[in-house]
A and B are shown apart, each in its own frame.
Chain A
Amino acid sequence: MKSYSLLNVGVGGQGVIRTAQILSYAALLEDYKVRTAETHGMAQRGGSVASFLRFGTEVEGPLIPRGKTNTILAFEVSEAVRIFNYAGPETVFLINENIQIPPMIHQMGMDYPKLTEIRTFLKEVSEHIYFIEGIEIATSLGNARTMNVIMLGALIGLDVIPLKKGTLEKAIFSYLPSNLHDINKKAFETGIEKGIELRGSSND
C-alpha cells in the first residue's frame, strides 16, 4: 500500500492526540512509514482539534491535501463539517453522533446547525457518510471514555483502514493500563460489529 491518509477531528479533550498515537503505532507494527501532524498548545483550549495521519510505503510529509483524504474520523458532528474540504467524493466519513455546542455562539448570534442539515450537506460532499452513536454505545458498555476505541473498531468493521485487526488491538492496549484492557477489548469488538452492521448504510 503506497499511501493512506486519515484526518481525525474533534474537540480538545476528546482524545484526538491519543488516537493519533495509537494509529501511528499500529501502522509502525505493520512496517509502514508513518507521518502525523497534530494540534498542540493554544488551540487545544476547548477549541477544534485536528490530527493528520499518513502511512504507507510512499509517504514523506505529514499534511494531506484538500480533497484527498481516504478517511475522516470525527469525534464530534460539526467538526466533520468544518473540515469537509479535505474530503472528496470517495472519502469515507465515520462520525460520532456527539454534539458539543461551541461556547458563546448564541452571543455571537450563531446557531449550531440541525443534524438533518448536516446530513444533507455532507451527502453532497461524499457518498460514504457513516454515523455512529459512540458515546451511547460506550456508556452502555460501562465506560463513556471507550468511545475512541469503539470508533477505531468501527473503522475495522467498515473495512476502511488498511490495518489488521490484531495490530490495531495491540496498539490500543499498549496505550492503556492493564486494568482497562477488558473493557476496551469489549469496546473494540463492539465497534467492529457496529462497523460491519454499518456497511452499506451510508447516507441513509
Chain B
Amino acid sequence: MIRPEFAEENPGKKIIMLGNEAIARGILEAGVVIGAGYPGTPSSEILLTLAEMQKFYPYLKLEWSVNEKVGFEVAYGGSMSNVRSVAVMKHVGVNVASDAFMTACYAGARGGMVLISADDPNCYSSQNEQDNRYFGLHALVPVFEPSTPQEAKDMIKYAFDFSEEYQSLVLFRTTTRLNHGRADVILGEVKVIDRDYGFDWDRSRWVCLPSHSRILRLRLLERLEEISNDADEFPFNSLKLSGEKINGIRYGFVAAGVPYSQLLDALNYYGIIDKVTILKLGLVYPPPKELIKKLFASSDEIIVVEELEPFLENIMKQIAFEEGYSKELTIHGKDIFPQNGEFSGEIYLENIARLIGLSYKKVPVPENMLIIPPRLPILCPGCGHRSTFYAIKQVENRMKTKFVNSSDIGCYTLAVYKPLEGIDTEVCMGGSIGLANGIAKVQSSDNPVLAILGDSTFFHSGIPALINAVFNKNNILVVILDNRSTSMTGFQDNPGTGITITNEPGTRVVLEELVKGCGVSPEKIWVVDAYKLNETIEKFEEAVKAEGVRVFISRHLCSLVESKQFRAQQKIPPSIMVDQEKCIGCMICVNNFGCQALNFNKAEKKVSIESSVCRGCKVCIDVCPQDAIYEEME
C-alpha cells in the first residue's frame, strides 16, 4: 500500500497540500479519534483525506453520517466520551446540525470538539452564501478562521487543545478558496493521546433539561468571558503596528481568513505594507479587546476587509463606541467592500487605491467584444436523471398539463436548464417533499404535485417529510432518483450502497422497504430502471395518475461511477450509432433529450454520436421516433 505524503510520520517535511488535506492533517496531528459529517462542497475532501489516513492510523473512527445533524451528534457523543472529535460540513449543513449545536454549546466539550463549517462565498457549489461566523456569536462559541493551508493545519491542531482547556466547542470556519487551494505546508508531529476513554454519567451536564440548562448557561457565559479575556494572547492573532502616515492619515487594516492573505498581496503591490497597521485575526470571535484598542490608538482610519456580512466591522464599531473612539475614528467596511460574492484580486486593488488616493488603472476592454457562449455544468452523458426527466416530460405532454416539480439539492438541479427544464423549486436538502406537502394542499388536481430528489438527499432529510405526507394525507408523488451515489460532492457512498467511508461493508438500507416503513402502501410504490425509457414512461404515467402518497423510484447507477467500474473491469460499453439514411434531422433527440454525445451536423441536417463522449446507455435509441439510432453489434 503506497503511503500518501500527507499520512507520513515525517515532521518538518514540506509538501504541497490542498487546504482540505491540510485541515485533515491537523486533525490527525491533534490525536482526534472520531470524525463524522455529510459530504458537501467545499468540505468533502476533509473526511475523505482522513479516510485515506485511516489505513495507517487504524484508531481513527470515521463515518459519513446520514446528515449533518447526526454527524455533529456522532462527534459530540465522542466528545462526551472523552475522545477528540470533529464534525465536518459545508455552511448550509450547519443549519441542519444547529439544533444539536445550539444546546451542545451549553454542556461544552469534554474531549476536544471542533465543528468545521466550510462557507462558500459566491455560491460556487451552494444554494446560498450565508456567513457562519454568526453561528459562533449565536451559540456563544469561539470562531477560528485560518488564512492559509499551513495556518489551517496548525490552527485546527491547536483548536483541540483549546477546546479541552476551556471545555468549549470550537467553530472552525473556512471559505472555498482555503478549502480548494493548494499551498506549501510543513508537516508536524502526529500526537497520540493516552487517556481513559468512555462515557462519564455526569447527568447534571449531559441532560439539558430546564433546571440544568439554566446553570449550564451561566457556565457557558463564564467560558466565553474567560476566552474573551485571553483573546489578546491567542497565538493566531497578531497586530503589526506602523506609525507612518499616507497623505497625512494613519491607516489600520483588520482582516482574517483568505481576505487577510489577499490584503497582504494588495498592500505589497502598492508597496505600502510597512506604512499601515494590520490587525490579523485568527480568532474572529470573541474579539481581542486590547489589541483592538492598540489598533485604534495608532490609527485615524480603520478598514475592515471581510467577505459577506459586516461581522468584524460591527464588532469594531461596538468596541470603538464602548472605548470612546467613535468620534475621532472612521471605521470603513461595507461602505467600501461589497457584501455579496467573493472578493476577486482586483477588488482589493481597486478599493484600497480609491480609499488611500493611489492610482489604479483598469485593464482596457477591447472595443469589439467577442461573445463566448456559456459552458454551463450539465447532466453527464448516460445520466439516469436525464432519462427520468425526459420520461416525466413525455407524460406531462401526453396528459396536456403541467406538473409542479418541487425539487432538491443534487446533480439533478442541473435539469433546470434547457432542454429538460424539469425542476421548479430548489431550497434545501429534503425540501422537495416538504414543499410538495404544502403546494399539494392548494394546487388544482389538474396539476399533479411531484417531489423529485436523489437517494442520498432522501436519506438525509426526505424521510420525515414523506411520513408527514402519509400522516396528513397530502396528495403527492415522490420521485426518488436513485443513482446509488452522492455524486455532486464526489461520489460518496450512502445508506443505499451500504459501503462505509473507509470502504468497509455496512448495512445497506433498501429504499423500497424504507418507504413502505414510512407508511406508503406497497401498491403505490413503483421501481424502474432509468435506462429503460419506455417502461419508465409507462410506469410513471400510472404513478402520476394514481391518488394518495406515491413513491416512484427511478434507479440506475451514476454513469460516472458505472464507467469507472467498466474501465476497471475492462468492459466496453455498447457502441451506439445513427443510421444516416433513417435520420431525418427532426432534432428531437438533440432538442428534447439533449445528451452531449448527440452531434448535429448543420450542413447535412443529420445527427451522429460522438463515441468518445457516449457511455452507451441506449436511452436515445428509444427517444428516436425514426428508429435511426441503434446499437452496433460486434
A-to-B contact residues, CB < 8 Å: 11-12, 20-21, 24-25, 28, 32-48, 58-68, 78-79, 81-82, 84-85, 87-88, 102-108, 110-113, 117-118, 121, 124-125
Point out the residue from B345, B419, B600 that lies within 8 Å of A64, measured CB to CB.
Answer: B345
Point out the residue from A43, A66, A67, A88 that lies within 8 Å of B124, measured CB to CB.
Answer: A43
Q: Pick the most buried of B344, B366, B418, B419: most chain A CB atoms within 10 A of its CB.
A: B366
Point out the residue from B16, B372, B378, B488 that lies within 8 Å of A104, measured CB to CB.
Answer: B378
Point out the residue from B258, B265, B345, B372 that lies within 8 Å of A113, measured CB to CB.
Answer: B372
Instruction: Determine whether the beta carbon of A67 is less than 8 Å from that of B346.
Output: yes
Instruction: Determine whether the beta carbon of B371 is less than 8 Å from that of A124.
Output: no
28 A-B residue pairs with Cβ-Cβ distance under 8 Å, sorted by A, are: A25-B16, A32-B184, A35-B148, A39-B124, A40-B125, A41-B41, A41-B490, A42-B125, A43-B377, A45-B379, A45-B411, A46-B375, A46-B596, A58-B268, A60-B265, A60-B268, A61-B261, A61-B265, A63-B344, A68-B346, A103-B376, A103-B596, A104-B418, A105-B373, A107-B590, A112-B373, A124-B368, A125-B366
CA separation between A35 and B488, bound complex, in Å? 25
Point out the residue from B184, B343, B419 that lies within 8 Å of A34, measured CB to CB.
Answer: B184
CA separation between A35 and B344, bound complex, in Å? 15
Q: Pick the most buried of B16, B177, B414: most chain A CB atoms within 10 A of its CB.
A: B16
Query: Which secondary structure dominates chain B's binding surface?
Result: loop
CA separation between A33 and B16, bound complex, in Å? 10
CB distance from B267 to the nearest CB of A (A): 9
Known: A28-B184, A43-B377, A110-B373. A67 touches B362 (CB 8 A): yes
Instruction: Determine whether the beta carbon of A65 is less than 8 Å from that of B348.
Output: yes
Q: Pick the most buried of A39, A41, A87, A121: most chain B CB atoms within 10 A of its CB.
A: A41
Interface size on B, residues (CB 8 A): 59
CA separation between A170 and B448, bound complex, in Å? 61
B192 interface hit (Cβ, 8 Å): no
CA separation between A65 and B414, bound complex, in Å? 30
Known contacts A34-B183, A88-B363, A110-B371; 14 further A-B pairs (Cβ under 8 A)? A33-B183, A34-B184, A42-B125, A42-B488, A45-B378, A45-B379, A62-B261, A63-B343, A65-B344, A68-B346, A81-B372, A82-B372, A82-B375, A85-B365
Residues in A neighbouring B204, C-beta threshold 8 A: none
Interface residues of B in 167-208 (CB under 8 A from A): 177, 180-184
CA separation between A61 and B149, bound complex, in Å? 11
Instruction: Determine whether the beta carbon of A20 is less than 8 Å from that of B182.
Output: yes
Closest-by-CB residue of A relative to B347 is A65
CB distance from A81 to the nearest CB of B (A): 5
B-to-A contact residues, CB < 8 Å: 14-16, 41-42, 124-125, 148, 177, 180-184, 258, 261-266, 268-269, 343-346, 348-349, 362-363, 365-368, 370-380, 411, 414, 417-419, 488-490, 590-591, 594, 596, 600
Residues in A neighbouring B183, C-beta threshold 8 A: 24, 33-36, 62
Residues in A neighbouring B125, C-beta threshold 8 A: 40-43
CB distance from A118 to the nearest CB of B (A): 7
CB distance from B441 to the nearest CB of A (A): 32
Residues in A neighbouring B262, C-beta threshold 8 A: 60-61, 63
CB distance from A26 to the nearest CB of B (A): 10
Instruction: Determine whether the beta carbon of A28 is less than 8 Å from that of B16.
Output: yes
CB distance from B446 to the nearest CB of A (A): 29
CB distance from B125 to the nearest CB of A (A): 4
Known: A28-B16, A43-B125, A63-B345. A38 touches B181 (CB 8 A): yes
Instruction: Determine whether the beta carbon of B124 is less than 8 Å from that of A41.
Output: yes
Minimum-distance CB pairs A-B, first 5: A65-B345, A67-B363, A41-B41, A61-B261, A61-B262
Known: A46-B596, A47-B376, A78-B372. A68 touches B414 (CB 8 A): no
Closest-by-CB residue of B relative to A33 is B184
CB distance from A137 to the nearest CB of B (A): 18
Closest-by-CB residue of B relative to A107 is B418
CA separation between A28 and B345, bound complex, in Å? 23
Instruction: Determine whether the beta carbon of B42 is less than 8 Å from that of A41.
Output: yes
Closest-by-CB residue of B relative to A82 is B372
Residues in B neighbouring A66, C-beta threshold 8 A: 344-346, 363
Residues in B neighbouring A32, C-beta threshold 8 A: 184
Instruction: Determine whether the beta carbon of A35 is less than 8 Å from that of B182.
Output: yes
Residues in B neighbouring A67, C-beta threshold 8 A: 346, 362-363
CA separation between A112 and B371, bound complex, in Å? 9
CB distance from B503 to the nearest CB of A (A): 21
Point out the residue from A34, A40, A42, A103 that lies within 8 Å of B180, measured CB to CB.
Answer: A40
Residues in B neighbouring A118, C-beta threshold 8 A: 370
Closest-by-CB residue of B relative to A20 is B182
CA separation between A11 and B377, bound complex, in Å? 10
Residues in A neighbouring B266, C-beta threshold 8 A: 65
Point out the residue from A21, A78, A110, A112 that lies within 8 Å of B16, measured CB to CB.
Answer: A21
CA separation between A82 and B591, bound complex, in Å? 25
Known: A102-B374, A118-B370. A37 touches B177 (CB 8 A): yes
Residues in A neighbouring B363, C-beta threshold 8 A: 66-67, 85, 87-88
Instruction: Determine whether the beta carbon of B348 is less than 8 Å from that of A113.
Output: no
CA separation between A150 and B348, bound complex, in Å? 35
CA separation between A30 and B1, bound complex, in Å? 29
Residues in A neighbouring B370, C-beta threshold 8 A: 81, 113, 117-118, 121
Closest-by-CB residue of B relative to A5 is B345
Instruction: Determine whether the beta carbon of B14 is less than 8 Å from that of A28.
Output: yes
CA separation between A117 and B148, bound complex, in Å? 41
Instruction: Determine whether the beta carbon of A102 is less than 8 Å from that of B182.
Output: no
CA separation between A66 and B41, bound complex, in Å? 26
CA separation between A124 and B366, bound complex, in Å? 6
Residues in A neighbouring B411, C-beta threshold 8 A: 45
Closest-by-CB residue of A relative to B179 is A40
Known: A66-B363, A104-B594. A44 touches B377 (CB 8 A): yes
CB distance from A38 to the nearest CB of B (A): 5
